[in-house]
Amino acid sequence: MKSCRLYQVDAFTTEPFRGNPAGVVPDADGLSDVQMQAIAREVNASETAFILSPPSSDCDLQVRFFTPTTEVPSCGHATVAAHTVRALENDLPSCTVRQKTRLGILPVEVIREGQGFRIVMTQGAIEFGKTFFGRGRDQITAALGLSRTDLDERCPVQIVSTGHAKVLVGIRDRATLDALKPDLARLTELSRRIGCNGYFIFTLASEYRGFLSYGRMFAPAIGIAEDPVTGNANGPLGAYLVQHKLVPTEGNRLSFRGRQGEAIGRPGTVEVSVEIEAGKPRTVRVGGQAVIVFRTEIRF
């Protein structure tokens, strides 16, 4: 009989039952793909992270990420959750860990703060994809329950990726964002046509002091009706804001905090940092804290 430890961790928050829940299996060696997918389906969080021994000497560990329906190349909140569990189990000092995912090997900073930890991950290569105009843009906004007048005219509707692509849609105000009731079936069909599974709707009209943006993210095509707090959406947002010169920057860096999850009762904060070179975004990092909600054991 095989057994493994399973944690449920709320990421991008320090309070239980807030932020974004992730499953974490810290001893996943020996699990098959089918078993990992079955565990992720059973946990039913937006992602579950499986920590494996390093497959080569150029990394310290391997992490695989599964939604309830499929494996994905990376995940911000599950990375924060996984490294929080690993740091607590191993009583780690502040350090940098080389993490291998389907994106390759990227550094993750583990920053000890008293009895807790802050986790900062470097995201994948920045890629700016298709920009939608006219009918294509109208199909996306209609599926989201938006009209053209809801859009922030400064913000092109565009696919952006730092490892896991999202369609970024900027709108004018927070009230419209909170009231969104997207047509998930239409979004799923659109995802098949445009080759992008996630839709991140954001506003720069945040009433929270200290927060630049407020957002919501929907990815029904991969089993995520709404993701509470999304590292792989707020990171691309940072690159997008620099690329389109939508906010002022401090020298060669943009740093901000994005707020997400209020509309579904799971508020959380993503810390975003973008390194800028020759006026363009070069490297994106996202980070935050996490809290363990429970630990159990699975036997099968």
Identify the pLDDT of residue 300: 86
pTM: 0.95
Catalytic residues: 47
Give alpha helix (H) positions in the chain: 33-43, 76-90, 134-144, 174-178, 184-194, 231-243
**CA atoms lying within 13 Å on the CB side of residue 67:** 20
pLDDT at 295 over 90: yes
Identify the pLDDT of residue 208: 66
Identify the pLDDT of residue 250: 85
Helix (H, G, I), strand (E, B) or coil at 247: coil
Q: 60-117 pLDDT, tens per residue?
A: 999 999 999 999 999 999 999 999 999 999 999 999 999 999 999 999 999 999 889 9
**172/11 Cα distance (integer angstroms):** 28
Query: Tokens for 133?
Result: 């105009």
**34/263 Cα distance (integer angstroms):** 34
Q: 163-203 pLDDT, tens per residue?
A: 999 999 999 999 999 999 999 999 999 999 999 999 999 99
Report residue 209's pLDDT band, with 50, 70 and 90 as the boundaries.
Answer: confident
